[in-house]
Amino acid sequence: MMTYSVVNTEHYRNVLVPDAPTQKYAWLEYEGGVWHFLTDLFGDPGKSMRRWTDEQCALQELENEGWIVVYPYKEQIKMKQLSDGAACGYGLMWIDSHMVS
């Protein structure tokens, strides 16, 4: 059973943190023999604008752009099993390097 937690952030809405780094999140997911770059957690991989057939090429290109892997999921899954609908990929994060001291 999965559980979820909801945090009420309403009273934090107007709080500004000076010089806080800008963070972005994305996902690199494997589906249909292709690695898809998604910026929406519930995005449709079939509609992704960026795709690669080679995992290492995708990771290297994204790393060159400043993305870092923060969470690999089912990293050791066999390619044969990927076709049964099992999710495989990476959670990514990008931090604006101009804001980090």
Percentage of the chain modeled with pLDDT above 70: 61
pLDDT of residue 43: 87
The more confidently predicted of residues 43 and 55 is 55
Rounded to 10 degrees, the C-alpha dihedral 33/30/25/61 comes to -50
Average predicted confidence (pLDDT) for the chain: 77
Report domain extents, the chain: 21-95
Q: If you average pLDDT over residues 33-39, what whole number do you get?
A: 94
Q: Is the pLDDT of residue 26 over 80?
A: yes
pLDDT of residue 2: 44
Q: Is the pLDDT of residue 100 over 50?
A: no
Between the alpha carbon of residue 30 and those of residues 7, 11, 88, the distances in Å are 30, 38, 6
58 near 89, Cβ under 8 Å? Answer: no
